[in-house]
């Protein structure tokens, strides 16, 4: 990475990035209105609204239901296990559908309907509530993971080349600008409106129902995405599934991206329960503070959007991946030093800066490394591996926590993220020389 980009990430220039981000905001909206990029952004905003009405508070909600540290770890782990089990069989079933868009919409709808079941958890006997909530979130990840994998494949049909990378970056950028608004509003309501814990539970239930209703709008907007003629439709593929899988595992271009990505993802995911436990239990953060963390993360992510878009356009996806992974490694060394919720809010700026880069690099990278033919199967293999990692990483984190305590566990995970970043860089260099 050259000095130009080191200069651009100077924290002292953050106000300039914020100003640049908002200066481009209106221009980008007027330029994109009515296009597929615009529809994709609108769908993304609704997707983020549905999830951020409750996911930022899921750990606190679980704690209020009586959840333990192990159940907090399971909340991160079990969705990955469910997705790992269903993705490949689901992809095989998807290959029989001729219309990717229609099939994706159906699974989005099923996922959103699951929120109504979660809304009923607080009315059940207290001893059942924590584990049942964890299990329902995990089960919901079945249609959710299938719909998102199918969407990734559909994006390869709707967008191509630089347009795809820019569409993903813009969708992430606008989402990061909107997420804090939703989260801070929800956090303020949950903190100040209820007069008792029972009333607070009623509000949580209302948020789950509202998320379901927004999910219906999300499906409507998604269906407005225009698929170019002749794309997004697939004929029944008679090629044997095991032959396709064998070809995927032999694909060097795919492996050179996926193997380092999964290794890094494991270290990335291992940090999530450790940070959640540090925030909810060690620091005693309330719903309002979780909303403030999200606000700071969103502001930083939105402000850094200009940087990541320029880096992606000028240096490519691989460099973007390396840089964002490096910042995520640095983040993990900062969290153990946080001793108050006020400090955590400031440190959350680092997470926001890294989030938009890593999310863009992951999605755009896997699309770049997959051919159009059998792309859904490629993505299912990648997402299955990601979800196996998602299942195992929290147990690894919990084992570290038990052995050395949460603070030292976060330092260890930070070091492993650093190793993962080096692996990504090494694979990129080998790929450029044609040695992989």
Residue 381 lies in a domain: yes
Is-contact 252 436, C-beta < 8 A?
yes
pLDDT reading at 2 higher than 50: no
Residue 369 lies in a domain: yes
- Domain of residue 123, CATH code: 1.20.1250.20
Mean pLDDT lowest among 153-167, 181-195, 229-243, 381-395: 229-243
Rounded to the nearest integer, the mean pLDDT of the chain is 83
Total number of domains constituting the chain: 1
Q: Is residue 4 part of a domain?
A: no
Confidence of residue 15 (pLDDT cuts 50, 70, 90): low
Dihedral in degrees, nearest 10, Cα atoms 225, 230, 234, 239 = -140
CA separation for the pair 133, 125 (Å, rounded)? 12
Domain ranges, residue 95: 14-433
- Mean pLDDT across the stretch 210-235? 82
Q: Is residue 8 part of a domain?
A: no
Q: How confident is the model at residue 18 (pLDDT cuts 50, 70, 90)?
A: low
Using CA atoms, how far apart are residues 346 and 171, in angstroms rounded to an integer? 25
Identify the pLDDT of residue 3: 39
* Mean pLDDT, residues 385-413 taken together: 91
Residue 158, pLDDT score: 83
Range 402-407 average pLDDT: 92
* Out of 20-29, 188-197, 225-234, 242-251, least confident range: 20-29
pTM of the model: 0.71
Whether 1 is covered by a domain: the verdict is no
Please state the rounded mean pLDDT for residues 374-399: 87
Pull the structure tokens for residue 381.
């293999």
- Asked, for residue 9, whether it belongs to a domain, the answer is no
């Amino acid at each position: 990475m050259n000095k130009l980009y080191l200069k651009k990430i100077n924290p002292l220039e953050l106000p300039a990035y914020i100003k640049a981000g908002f200066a481009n905001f209106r221009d980008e909206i007027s330029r994109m209105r009515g296009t597929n990029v615009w529809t994709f952004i609108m769908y993304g905003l609704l997707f983020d609204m549905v999830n951020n009405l409750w996911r930022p508070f899921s750990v606190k909600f679980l704690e209020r239901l009586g959840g333990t540290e192990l159940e907090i770890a399971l909340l991160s782990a079990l969705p990955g296990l469910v997705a790992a089990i269903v993705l490949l069989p689901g992809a095989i079933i998807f290959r029989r559908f001729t219309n990717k868009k229609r099939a994706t919409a159906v699974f989005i709808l099923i996922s959103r309907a699951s929120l109504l079941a979660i809304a009923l958890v607080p009315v059940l006997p207290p001893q059942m509530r924590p584990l049942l909530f964890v299990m329902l979130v995990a089960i919901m990840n079945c249609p959710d993971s299938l719909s998102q994998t199918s969407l990734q494949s559909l994006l390869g049909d709707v967008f191509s080349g630089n347009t795809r990378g820019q569409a993903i970056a813009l969708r992430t950028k606008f989402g990061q600008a909107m997420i804090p608004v939703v989260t801070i509003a929800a956090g303020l309501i949950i903190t100040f409106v209820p007069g008792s814990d029972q009333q607070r539970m009623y509000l949580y239930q209302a948020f789950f129902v509202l998320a379901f209703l927004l999910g219906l709008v999300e499906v409507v907007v998604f269906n407005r995405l225009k698929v170019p003629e002749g794309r997004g439709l697939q004929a029944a593929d008679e090629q044997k599934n095991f032959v396709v899988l064998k070809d995927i595992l032999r694909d060097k271009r795919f492996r050179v991206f996926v193997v380092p990505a999964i290794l890094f993802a494991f270290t990335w995911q291992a940090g999530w329960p450790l940070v959640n436990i540090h925030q909810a239990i060690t620091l005693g953060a309330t719903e309002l503070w979780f909303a403030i963390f999200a606000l700071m993360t969103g502001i930083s992510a939105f402000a850094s959007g200009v940087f990541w878009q320029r880096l992606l356009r000028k240096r490519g996806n691989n460099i973007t991946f390396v840089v964002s992974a490096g910042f995520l490694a640095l983040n993990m060394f900062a969290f153990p030093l946080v001793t108050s919720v006020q400090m955590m809010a400031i440190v959350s700026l680092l997470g926001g800066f890294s989030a938009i880069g890593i999310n863009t690099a992951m999605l755009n990278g896997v699309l770049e490394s997959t051919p159009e033919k059998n792309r859904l199967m490629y993505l299912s293999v990648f997402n299955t591996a990601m979800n196996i990692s998602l299942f195992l990483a929290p147990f690894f984190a919990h084992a570290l926590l038990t052995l050395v305590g949460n603070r030292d566990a976060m330092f260890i995970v930070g070091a492993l993220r650093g190793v993962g970043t080096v692996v990504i860089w090494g694979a990129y260099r080998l790929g450029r020389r044609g040695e992989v």
